[in-house]
A and B are shown apart, each in its own frame.
Chain A
Amino acid sequence: MLLIQNITKTFFPGTVNERVALNDVSLQLNTGDFVTVIGSNGAGKSTLLNMISGRLPIDSGDLSIDGSSVKRMPDYARAAYVGRVFQDPMAGTAPDLSIEQNLALALRRGQRRGLAWGVTHKRRAFFREELLSLELGLENRLKARVGLLSGGQRQALSLLMASFTQPRILLLDEHTAALDPQRAELVTTLTESIVEKHHLTTLMVTHNMEQALRLGNRLIMMHEGQIILDVDAERKATMTVPDLLAEFAKIKGASLDDRALLG
């Protein structure tokens, strides 16, 4: 499905600010995998997602989806395979366009966009049905500007837009981090049900260790540009947050500042 081989990424190479964000990272995701990614700030989690989505070029290594390399594919072309929800609730939607227009844009993911009407009766009925599953009442506000929605509503909509065309891979970049606890819980629950419904292969970065343990069938921990821990479904089911922290401390051989990880 998704195969990452020996990816390396260095920011500002050759300057005093040189920083290795990813150091020889390899990772394989099987179809239907739901992998949660944790790690302290600067561990390379977001960079990994940016590599997969094509937002930043890869220095070395290879990246392939369904067996073909997408390393040289620009971000907009890779979007045909990769759906993404950003941390910033404002980032995933166009605020001046209506809910139905945003959904129409997402519906054409990876396809040619021609001179057919963006919002048709048929599409509108489909959007209404999809929005119904969010249980936020947005199905009655199809013509409302997205800029009028709350952060949680916008993030739920972003999630729907990233996933309802069933991309090969869904990337979630701390998509609940900017929301208040209640909204975050709502979006987390939605994430669970949407991934389940479409059997999406998902990579979710989170700062919340409890969430990382609760969701998905696999967990990886990153530190200083490397994957230092890979937990399978069986072991993950019995793991607790203290277990994770202990594991981290053991691997690094150093005591750990909890707050750096718990965010």
Chain B
Amino acid sequence: MNAALELGLLYGIMALGVYLTFRILNFPDLTVDGSFTTGAAVAASLIINGVPAPLATLAGAASGAVAGLVTGVLYTKGRIDGLLAGILTMIALWSINLRIMGKSNLPLLREDTLMTPLRDAGLLGGAWSILIFGIAALVIKFAIDWFLSTDLGLSIQATGNNEQMIRSLGVNTHRTTILTLAISNGLVALCGALIAQYQGFADVSMGIGLILVGLASVIVGQAVFGRRTIFLASLAVIGGAVIYRLVIFFALGAGLNPNDMKLISALLVVAALLLPRWGFLKRVPSLRQMRSAAAGSANYSKAN
């Protein structure tokens, strides 16, 4: 259970990256499956080669940002469909990741990683590590909240919301799109680097199907906690990532095996997308309706 919470908070960073593209930019970015592994691969190889873990982690994040940039350039300058641009980068990254790692699995068990101090102090799997990971996720959440409310961040929000309008106000939407994809995949790769250190290895297939985990976190989280403001929406994304891990945890506890998890992820996303549309469930008051009712916001249903 504690491990599920830890993982949920760590994967929350990845989910925040997916939130930036999927919700803010309105762009279904499949690069994620590749860039997550790239972050892990770069960080793991550097750590094995003696680079300090914090630096290796940052390098991992930067490599993911480059991957996002490639997808962005393919989409904007190359005018390739967004889904296809993401798939192209993702597939290409598979080979690149293998090149970086040299083999399909890199163990980090005896290396000095960011997790080593926690493990040595016996904090992993307890309340302290949950607190530390929670703070890390929240710091990134607040950084995103701030960024999105700056002049530049607002122009990114507008790019996803009404591209024609923001171009007529003087914003080069190619640049904002590329920038957002780079930041998003940078966060995803940062998460990959952290997960590799947490689990003690990087594996070339660790990113497969990850976009679904990200989407599940964003959609489930925002269905439960709401998305009225950026503050709430980004918090909901981290909540969604934790909920996802708990679902997996209980599914495994119920006797399903790890190979079933991709199916569970897909079903979870389908359920989260379809359930709100079904009439009888609309009448069941959800958390967010109860809260908005309490706040007396009559316009809320119209707003969504």
Contact = CB atoms under 8 A, between A and B. Distances in A.
Interface of A: 53, 74-77, 79-80, 83-84, 86, 90-97, 101, 104-106, 108-111, 113-119, 145, 147-148, 161-162
B173 A104 contact: no
Interface stretch (B67-75, B146-154, B253-261): B146-154
Given A97-B157, A113-B155, A118-B154, A91 B173 contact: no
B154 A101 contact: yes
Contacts of A93: 162, 165
12 contacts: A79-B171, A80-B170, A84-B168, A90-B162, A93-B165, A94-B157, A97-B154, A105-B155, A105-B169, A113-B154, A117-B151, A118-B151
A108 B166 CA distance: 11
Nearest to B156: A113
Interface of B: 147, 149-155, 157-158, 161-162, 164-173, 299, 302-303
Contacts of B157: 94, 96-97, 101
A79 B161 contact: no
B167 A75 contact: yes
Contact of A97 (B158, B164, B299): B158
B168 A53 contact: yes
B165 A79 contact: no
The 5 closest A-B pairs by CB, nearest first: A79-B170, A113-B151, A94-B161, A118-B154, A110-B170
A-side binding surface: helix, strand, loop or mixed?
A: loop
Nearest to B176: A113
B154 to A, nearest CB: 4
B294 to A, nearest CB: 19
Grouping DSSP codes into helix (H, G, I), strand (E, B) and loop, the B interface class, with mixed when no group exceeds half, is helix
Given A77-B170, A79-B167, A113-B171, A118 B149 contact: yes
Contacts, number: 94
Contacts of B168: 53, 75-76, 79, 83-84, 86, 92, 162
B48 to A, nearest CB: 36
B158 A94 contact: yes
Contact of A117 (B149, B167, B302): B149
A91 B158 CA distance: 12
A95 B166 CA distance: 12
Contacts of A74: 172
A147 B173 CA distance: 21
Contacts of A109: 169-170
A36 to B, nearest CB: 21
Given A113-B151, A113-B152, A114-B152, A148 B299 contact: yes
A85 to B, nearest CB: 9
A108 B161 contact: no
B193 to A, nearest CB: 25
A104 B302 CA distance: 24
A46 to B, nearest CB: 14
A131 to B, nearest CB: 18
B165 A94 contact: yes
Contacts of A145: 303
B303 to A, nearest CB: 6
Q: Point out which of A84, A97, A101, A118 has the most chain B C-beta atoms below 10 A from its C-beta.
A: A118
B80 to A, nearest CB: 20
A95 B164 contact: no
B169 A79 contact: yes
Contacts of B167: 75-76, 79
B151 A76 contact: no
A110 B150 CA distance: 16
